[in-house]
């Protein structure tokens, strides 16, 4: 185990001794500080462009939280946007099968509503229906099959830009989505602009351990002021999710900027 991982695990252990409310408060402060410094001082502006877009989202809500403004702006300009959900969103939090099925159905409906608000047409929304929480645990063949499904979709759309969660997003499914899509882009052998969107990164990553200043300086800020209201409505469509998130966590997704990081796939 390397130093970074052992430090990460020690910090996780330490978190068990911190009262939940206080930990939540610390995470909120930490996230807000990183966010403000990125927006105000560190990031470079990313200009709007007319490239078509594919957004890969591990769960039904990540695409809207991380890229909802960008999606809406592209759709308003008639640019093709497709969204691919990797998991079924079951959350693994219910043992009763009928409840689990209900969660999957609810989240699917919420995602269709949210994406309709943002302007994505139904035929450009894809559900790959992998088990929630399992993307890093797939066996060799299942992983190969999933990468192949992603390759086919990439070949079908030939996007100019691909968006994935940050490679260190502090959530197994999110980091796995990055890896799977990166592998698929290589297999598809296309030239594409590859960008990462942070969801849990600023909330869960202890400052300067996972996230170093040299990583932050590559950030882009993207103005979504013109579609902020639409993004807020799309977020509200995820009513089953919003209340289960830590207090304060979603605040930054209502901001007039979205943050992206450039990624490599070669």
- How many contiguous H segments (helices) and E segments (strands) does the chain have? 10, 8
* C-alpha dihedral sign at 53, 54, 55, 60: positive
Provide the minimum distance between the beta carbon of 199 and Zn ion in the complex, in angstroms, as a whole number. Answer: 6
Binding mask 164-183 for Zn ion (x = CB under 5 A): --------------------
For the record, the structure tokens of 90 come out as: 């079951």
Name which of 62 and 161 has its Cβ closer to Zn ion.
62
Name which of 8 and 59 has its Cβ closer to Zn ion.
59
Residue nearest to Zn ion (CB): 59
Provide the minimum distance between the beta carbon of 165 and Zn ion in the complex, in angstroms, as a whole number. Answer: 7
Count of residues binding Zn ion (CB under 5 A)? 3
Tell me how crowded residue 253 is: count the other CB atoms within 10 A of its CB. Answer: 18
Provide the minimum distance between the beta carbon of 169 and Zn ion in the complex, in angstroms, as a whole number. Answer: 8
Provide the minimum distance between the beta carbon of 174 and Zn ion in the complex, in angstroms, as a whole number. Answer: 6
Cα separations in angstroms, 105 against 88, 98, 130, 236, 239: 9, 10, 14, 17, 13
Name which of 188 and 241 has its Cβ closer to Zn ion.
241
How long is the chain?
266
Q: Determine phi and psi for 129, rounding to 5 degrees.
A: 55, 35
Name which of 55 and 188 has its Cβ closer to Zn ion.
55
Name which of 35 and 249 has its Cβ closer to Zn ion.
249
51-110 residues near Zn ion, rule: CB under 5 A: 58-59, 62
Q: Which helix (H) or strand (E) segment is 35 a member of?
A: helix 20-37
213-252 residues near Zn ion, rule: CB under 5 A: none
> Do 135 and 86 contact (CB within 8 A), yes or no?
yes
Can you give the binding site for Zn ion, defined by CB under 5 A? 58-59, 62
């Amino acid at each position: 185990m390397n130093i970074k991982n052992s430090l990460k695990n020690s910090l996780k252990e330490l978190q068990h001794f911190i009262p939940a409310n206080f930990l939540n408060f610390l995470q909120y402060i930490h996230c807000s500080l990183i966010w403000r410094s990125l927006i105000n001082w560190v990031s470079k502006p990313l200009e709007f462009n007319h490239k078509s877009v594919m957004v890969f989202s591990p769960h039904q809500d990540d695409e809207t939280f991380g890229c909802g403004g960008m999606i809406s702006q592209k759709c308003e300009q008639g640019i093709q946007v497709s969204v691919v959900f990797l998991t079924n969103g079951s959350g693994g939090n219910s043992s009763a099968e009928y409840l689990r099925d209900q969660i999957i159905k609810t989240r699917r409906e919420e995602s269709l509503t949210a994406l309709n608000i943002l302007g994505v047409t139904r035929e450009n929304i894809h559900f790959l229906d992998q088990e929630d929480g399992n993307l890093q645990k797939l066996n060799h063949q299942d992983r190969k099959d999933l990468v192949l499904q992603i390759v086919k979709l990439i070949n079908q759309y030939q996007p100019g830009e691909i968006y994935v969660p940050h490679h260190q997003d502090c959530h197994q499914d999110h980091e796995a989505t990055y890896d799977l899509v990166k592998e698929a882009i290589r297999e598809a052998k296309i030239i594409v602009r590859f960008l990462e969107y942070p969801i849990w990164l600023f909330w869960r990553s202890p400052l300067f351990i996972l996230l170093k200043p040299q990583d932050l300086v590559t950030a882009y800020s993207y103005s979504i002021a013109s579609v902020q209201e639409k993004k807020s409505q799309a977020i509200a469509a995820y009513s089953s999710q919003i209340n289960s998130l830590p207090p304060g966590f979603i605040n930054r997704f209502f901001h007039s900027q979205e943050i992206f990081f450039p990624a490599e796939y070669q």
